[in-house]
Amino acid sequence: MMELFALIVKQDAGMLQSERDYVSAFLQKQLTHQSADEFMTLFLENAGPMAGTESKAVAGSASVRDSIRIFQTCSKINKTLTQEQRVIVLMRCFELISTDGQYTPQRMNIINTIAEVFKVSQEEFTVISQFVREEQPEAFGDPSMLVINTCHSSDMEGQGPFVVFLTAHRPSPT
């Protein structure tokens, strides 16, 4: 997942501070301190410079090398995670770009590629997109999602509610 995060944030003008903070908070919440540091180092090695430090903004698509890495990384993830886990990875990638609303064509092309390789249905993709962009996620109402707010005011800022997809409402695989 760190490789996907890095490939997303290196697009456009480079990584934003809010994106770096999101990845750091995500790792600290999920892993031990030592493991979080190791994964953060991996992320930073692949993410490129912070926006504005080495301005090499290029409009258009991700580079061919990045496109191949995205596909390879998603293919590896496909082999090791369940469909539900892949949907969560996609959602975390959406959350990453939503930290500053950076829904640029380059970043959205990567998100679309991830969804396609993960075989996420268009309906599920649309619901995830709407949820992540929702300013008040706890008010989001879609019958295919159960939203459980596990955050308290004293919890880490920027960590939204946890989302569970109801498998009974998901389309059956074909």
- Report, as an integer, the average pLDDT of 98-121: 90
> What stretch of H or E contains 147?
strand 145-148
Grade residue 111 by pLDDT with cuts at 50, 70 and 90: very high
Q: What is the model's pTM?
A: 0.76
With beta carbons less than 8 A apart as the criterion, state whether 23 and 159 touch: no
Q: Tell me what the pLDDT averaged over the chain comes to.
A: 79
- Report, as an integer, the average pLDDT of 5-23: 89
* Nearest residue to 5 (alpha-carbon basis) of 62, 46, 33: 46
- Report, as an integer, the average pLDDT of 58-67: 67
Q: Answer yes or no: is pLDDT of 148 > 60.
A: no
